Structure 1
């Protein structure tokens, strides 16, 4: 019998925090599923002049101007390639709607508190202030990201300005 959803409940636990798992290069990251509005294929965006390289531009999503941030560029990944697996995760962060470009989305995992370990004092890819911890799922290790902190207030102001220039 086919499974009807992609939520993996581990160790028979009935509750846990759910994370959308996405990939950037060889690493897997998790963000709070409650922040996710939708997942869509990557389309061309309207580029905005004088914005940092990680702000790809904006797109019109059903009448809402949504700034698009490429996390691969923000995390200084080399060889950023757009292909059929590249997706945009549309997030609702408070009153803002923001899209993040990632290499792909794999699944949704429910992690219990004992599967979430504190963030290490060092992180190679990004500053530990953006991490909520590490999720241990069998042999997999997820880097759990506080997406609101990652897209910090300075960058949110840039995003707002970029969106306002288009609107």
Structure 2
């Protein structure tokens, strides 16, 4: 039985997705939907990791390839590839990922500050690391990941 004091929310619900051989997570509170790949219209004069835009239910949404954004090896998209539509402060963007695995609850006390790891994606993009059972999930800081995308989109208007 849930108490009403507001301290009971000891878990964070996240979407787990894959890039290369690692699992990443973003809070479900910012995820609008998970879509199969669709036709992406290229936009000239944008960084290479911004693949273009899609028209999703009447909303023109920029699409970012997270592998390329993080400087990872680019691989051809396949049937497992997904576009995760996220919304930050009225700004919607799609993230291309290798696969969207599942939705899980992460206890807040299992989330640790991101370690200083040489050779990983830029540490500014990571808000923390969560150990859940035998899985290690990298928690993304979407504000930092999407900062240049927001600038490009506002310049287009």
User: TM-score w.r.t. structure 2 length?
Assistant: 0.88
Query: Aligned equivalents of 2:57 and 2:89: distance in 1?
Result: 19
User: Would you identify which runs of 4 or more consecutive aligned residues in structure 1 move more than 6 Å?
Assistant: none
5+ residue gaps in structure 1? 1-12
Which of these residues, 59, 64, 68, is aligned with residue 64 of structure 1? 59
Match of 1:148 in 2: 143
5+ residue gaps in structure 2? 1-7
Which of these residues, 104, 107, 120, is aligned with residue 109 of structure 1? 104
Which of these residues, 134, 152, 155, is aligned with residue 158 of structure 1? 152
Match of 2:122 in 1: 127
Do the aligned partners of 1:15 and 1:110 also contact (CA within 8 Å) in 2? no
Do the aligned partners of 1:121 and 1:128 also contact (CA within 8 Å) in 2? yes
Which of these residues, 55, 71, 74, is aligned with residue 76 of structure 1? 71
- What SS does the aligned partner of 1:151 have? helix
- CA RMSD in angstroms comes to 1.7
- What SS does the aligned partner of 2:84 have? strand
Query: Aligned equivalents of 1:105 and 1:129: distance in 2?
Result: 23
User: TM-score w.r.t. structure 1 length?
Assistant: 0.83
Query: Aligned equivalents of 2:71 and 2:127: distance in 1?
Result: 20
